[in-house]
Amino acid sequence: MSTARQRAEDGAEGRAEDRAEDRLRVVVAAPLSEENCARVRELEPRIDLVVDHTLLPPMRWPADFAGDPSWRRTPAQQRSYEAAVDSADALYGIPDVSPSALARTVRANPRLRWVHTMAAGGGSQVRAAGLGDDELDRVRFTTSAGVHGGPLAEFAVLGVLAGAKDLPRLARQQRRHEWSGRWTMRQVSGQTVLVLGLGGIGRAVAAKLHALGATVIGTSRRCAEVNAGTDGTDVAGVTGVTTVVRPDRIVEVAPVVDAVVNTLPGTPATEHLLGARFFDALRPGATVVSVGRGSVVDEAALVAALDSGRVGFAALDVFETEPLPGHSPLWDHERVLVSPHTAALDPAEDRLIAELFAANATRLLDGRELLNRVNTVEFY
């Protein structure tokens, strides 16, 4: 394995080996408003920002970087677009959010050194491009991880609260105009929540759940396993986490878990981590929330666990196949909340991504290590 790829495997957090440079030619390959173009130029004046809005699809909502699917470039516009991205030192966005277009661009442009992906999980797009080791060594890839932490953490809290308060039963009784006898509701302050992943999203989730009084167990492959008892703060540097376990031990802690929140990226190591063995070990009636990548959850096993009552409620923003197929039993399951991968969307997202890009451009120009560098071994 090359030195650059070994550094990526270790989290791309090692010593920076890039030399400082005077200017950076950045081609905007994804929709970016003129206001945010101006913001990037203001934050890093050494960028030569190349953007032609006529070559970029109109966005239908904030962070809609793929744009209106009915929009098409003319052949002449396509040639102009490809000529622009092929002249870049760096790209703001994967061309057309397409792995095949990314592969074409990397191979056509030997001067390209950095691509910023719009998604927090942009590593999966890089993996899908099928680039060779030399290409992965030459071009740095970064993601927008961290931008979505706050909104996704709020959705996670919504899911945990909905499970604790038996939202499906309340909704069902309301539809039936049924005034039942009273029943006790669970309190989040008395629950133990397993948060899968302690990256930007997982840390935000842990902090919010801890503020509600929950006991939080986190998972990490890199941190040593720690059990701090019940004091509740700053285990492995994460506020609100009392215990840290490795992902391969989650079945062992499942019997004490009232809710689990998936914030993990989609990699071969995380695929179906939440499967039948885990669900079978859960405390009956537990809540499942998924805001990471849909491949982490074995949906067939989840449906079985919902049917048996082992899982009492699931709030899902991501799925194994998106859009969620119409035949999926998740659509009509009375104890499932389906969100169409929209929980991360925030009016400020475009600006925050632009500011993150500008900060990384400064790092690149100054010869420092980039933030959110994609691991080009496991692609997260």
Residues involved in catalysis: 293, 322, 341
Segment (H or E) for 345: none
From edge to edge, which strands make up the β-sheet containing 215-219?
226-227, 241-245, 215-219, 192-196, 259-262, 286-290, 311-316, 336-338
**128 CB-contact burial (10 Å; exposed 0-12 / middle 13-18 / buried 19+):** middle
List all residues 6 or more positions away from 364 whose beta carbon is below 8 Å from its beta carbon: 18, 21, 24, 90, 113, 114, 140, 370
Distance separating alpha carbons of residues 255 and 55, to the nearest angstrom: 54
| Pick from 313, 317, 326, 311: nearest CA to 292 | 317
Hey, what amino acid is at 10?
A: D
Distance separating alpha carbons of residues 217 and 263, to the nearest angstrom: 13
Distance separating alpha carbons of residues 133 and 148, to the nearest angstrom: 30
Q: Are strands 241-245 and 259-262 parallel, antiparallel or unpaired?
A: unpaired
What angle is formed at CA 323 by the lines to CA 318 and CA 328, rounded to 5 degrees?
A: 85
Distance separating alpha carbons of residues 159 and 110, to the nearest angstrom: 46
Distance separating alpha carbons of residues 364 and 341, to the nearest angstrom: 32
The sign of the torsion formed by the CA atoms of 122, 123, 126, 130 equals negative
Contact 58, 31 (CB under 8 A): yes
